[in-house]
Chain A
């Protein structure tokens, strides 16, 4: 069975702090994809990143970075110098070819960035 665990239900930081959101996944498939989505208070789901299981290179996009480690089945997301606009619920998700591409979501981490 496939599973995504985001153990941090809520995180609160002060603006300009760095924050890491954890994501641990379970799958028996060798070909799979990992995703992060952001859900701001307005409610929409915004796609952030997609990473395949054969590419363990870390990715950086502005203040956002992602650390993919197959050895620990983790795909963690770090926001550097957080800002109030980063306040949102962040979801990690998993899909695999053998499961028909269906997305399995974690429960989400609610990040609150205070000024």
Chain B
């Protein structure tokens, strides 16, 4: 199994509070991704990173920001959480040797976030 951990695994927070989710990898993979999973939508890409300090938006990026200061860590921040951001968040990594590569993505265990 790919060495990917996510923290916290569960979080309950209130509307308007900031929340940061952490993804940590031990594989030294270049690409890291944040997805959210909601019923009826499968998984949708929020943001991704193709290297330290290199990030880009995905399909559902509004209300989220990311940072990657080290290869092994990719942080997802909800600046002011809303109830619509209640979801399960998955981090993924990919070796992706060149930009635009389509290597397999391996997923972390997920974080269940509830915004009241």
* Contact of A107 with B102 in the complex, beta carbons under 8 Å: no
- Given contact pairs A35-B104, A97-B102, A98-B100, a sample of 16 additional A-B residue pairs in the complex whose CB atoms are under 8 Å apart: A37-B107, A43-B88, A43-B110, A44-B107, A44-B109, A44-B110, A45-B43, A47-B104, A47-B107, A96-B102, A100-B99, A101-B94, A101-B102, A102-B59, A105-B43, A107-B42
Interface residue tally of chain B, by bracket?
A: 20 to 34
- Contact: B100 with A107, CB < 8 Å? no
Q: A43-B88, A43-B109, A43-B110 are in contact. Are A101 and B44 (CB under 8 A)?
A: no
CA distance A107 to B37 in the complex (A): 10
Binding site for B on A (CB under 8 A): 4, 32-33, 35, 37, 43-45, 47, 50, 91, 93, 95-98, 100-103, 105-108
B positions within 8 Å CB-CB of A? 31, 33, 35, 40-45, 48, 56, 58-59, 88, 90, 92, 94, 96, 99-107, 109-110
